[in-house]
Chain A
Amino acid sequence: MDRLLDAIAAIGRGTLGAARMCGRITLFALDGVSQIVRPPFYPRMVGRALAEIGYFSLPVVALTAIFTGMVLALQSATGLARFSAESQIASLVVLSVTRELGPVLAGLMVAGRAGAAMAAELGTMRVTDQIDALTTLSTNPMKYLVAPRLLAGAIALPLLVVVADILGVLGGYIIATLKLGFNGHVHLNNTLDFLETQDVVSGLVKAAVFGFLVALMGCYNGYNSKGGAQGVGSATTAAVVSASILILAFDYVLTEIFFIR
């Protein structure tokens, strides 16, 4: 009986802890968003965050997208051959890339690269008193450090996903034409015929949400890191893991909203 009560108590403590953390993250996000729209503004910090999240993540996102498109074309060729539906390769690749793989893979890549960097930078600033120093210099750290990153995350990831969509489709095109022997013109026509505006828009909206989540988890974990190097390391790991899980969870929610009627 005691063991059962202990187990129930442990579950209760865990649930309360998770609820507290959700509450803290939500309040942090609300504070960060409210700082985006209230002056003073820090365009230099937004530009710097855009470069960090967007420009410097471009190579890794581009490589991921092009190889994903290539693999998708190869896999769908072998799979669709069983139903004599190889002509559907173009539509399968473009829908998969624009709706799902573009935003999700770009989000995961950016979480691993830029999200980790944000958590490490803010964590180091926290443990070396730089965040306290900002406050003593009449600067709100949420406004100066967090708000520009949240805004940049929501802007940069859709731009990256546009590139990822194009390169993913290009990867499929390369395999379809050069390896599988499809006519390039027909493949391109099939790609465009099956693509609807909503496919691209939904992917870009997902990307904006994922970009915000990556920045939020990077900032939240870094901003609240404790201790020395170990604390910063833990914050960095937590930022990547939590952002990755949230991307997948929100992907389901957004897919439900966009496509399930």
Chain B
Amino acid sequence: MSAPANGTVPKLRIRGLKKAFGPKQVLDGIDLDIPAGTSLVVIGGSGSGKSVLIKCVLGLIEPDEGTIELDGKNLLAMDRKGRERAVATMGMLFQNGALFDSLPVWQNVAFGLLARGRIRRAEARQRADAVLAQVGLAPSVGDLWPSELSGGMQKRVGLARAIAASPDLLFFDEPTTGLDPIMGAVIDGLIVDVVRRLGSTAIAITHDMASASRIADSVAMLHKGQIIWQGGPEALMSSGNPIVDQFTHGRREGPITMELRR
């Protein structure tokens, strides 16, 4: 267990995290501290390794090197059972919702509760309806199939599924991708609401600057497998870092373009 200078253990601490796929070094020594109850937004270009980072924390990808500490305990040193218990305290909203298309909406939402054997099916239905209401969906939506939902509704159902078990740590992978600006703002608002209500710690990855500003307590920029900048959302649009500035303002000219041309 390692504690920062002020003595409190961060909810999530990542040190020296590396992951390569063949010759491509996707994560190249990531260091991050996320204090409990705060929201970190990781920004970065497509293919910069944002999704790989959270998949490493969730145990979906095994990193090559480094440590990931949850409440001071190294996830990578845990046995399978310990890792499963740790992952059970996490929730994830996937980029495309990743709803199970063979199950109706309410079973999607209650899936984690039923899988953990916490409640019976009748209770699960009631709980699913309650969580759907939290994300602004009527109980009747619970009887629909994922294929019958719009993109925005799928995101809401995905969010409902992620928060159904009241997780301590929430991950959001591109929560507003593919949504119109109004629906994007609605989803961001829901994320802020549920994170605050649950008192959870949240990590979101996005390249939507408006979304990052709405969700974040702090923002980190991932570039070439490393965190090159970290600061508050108010400093995001004027970071003073040329790579961050080019990315946040969407400029064609700058160090990122120059690197691509080379």
Contact = CB atoms under 8 A, between A and B. Distances in A.
Interface of A: 40, 121, 125, 128-130, 132-133, 135-139
Contact of B91 (A130, A132, A136, A139): A136
Given A128-B98, A132-B60, A138 B115 contact: yes
B87 A128 contact: no
Contacts of A40: 117
13 contacts: A129-B96, A130-B98, A132-B55, A132-B58, A133-B99, A133-B100, A133-B161, A135-B58, A136-B58, A136-B90, A137-B161, A138-B87, A139-B111
Nearest to A45: B102
Contact of A138 (B84, B94, B99, B100): B84
A157 to B, nearest CB: 22
Contacts of A137: 111-112, 115, 161
Contacts of A132: 55, 58, 60, 94, 98
A129 B95 contact: yes
Interface string B68-93: 00000000000000001001101110
Given A136-B58, A138-B115, A130 B100 contact: yes
B100 A136 contact: no
A92 B98 CA distance: 53
A89 to B, nearest CB: 47
Given A138-B112, A138-B115, A139-B115, A133 B98 contact: yes
A138 B60 contact: no
A253 B147 CA distance: 45
- Chain B: interface secondary structure? loop
Given A135-B87, A136-B60, A136-B92, 6 more contacts: A40-B117, A128-B98, A132-B60, A133-B100, A136-B90, A136-B91
B178 interface: no
B116 interface: yes
Given A138-B84, A138-B88, A133 B94 contact: yes
Contacts of B232: none
B3 to A, nearest CB: 28
Interface residues of B, number: 24
B72 to A, nearest CB: 22
Q: Considering the complex of A and B, which 8 residue pairs feature the smallest CB-CB distances, nearest first?
A: A129-B98, A137-B112, A133-B98, A136-B92, A139-B115, A129-B94, A138-B88, A132-B60
B254 interface: no
Contacts of A130: 98-101
Nearest to A133: B98
A135 B98 contact: no
B59 A135 contact: yes
A142 B33 CA distance: 33
Contacts of A138: 84, 87-88, 112, 115-116
B115 to A, nearest CB: 5
Contacts of B55: 132
* Residue of A40, A130, A135, A138 most packed against chain B (CB within 10 A): A138
Interface in B173-229: none
A43 B151 CA distance: 32
A186 B226 CA distance: 83
A149 to B, nearest CB: 13
Contacts of B111: 137, 139
Contacts of B112: 137-139
Nearest to A132: B60
A136 B87 contact: yes
A128 B90 CA distance: 20
Nearest to A42: B115
A125 B98 CA distance: 8
A133 B108 CA distance: 10
A133 B117 CA distance: 17
A129 B55 CA distance: 11
A240 B117 CA distance: 36
A121 B103 CA distance: 13
Contacts of B117: 40
A132 to B, nearest CB: 5
Contacts of A139: 111-112, 115
Contacts of B87: 135-136, 138
A121 B102 CA distance: 10
A163 B100 CA distance: 34
A56 to B, nearest CB: 15
Nearest to A121: B102
B233 to A, nearest CB: 26
B151 to A, nearest CB: 14
Nearest to B164: A137
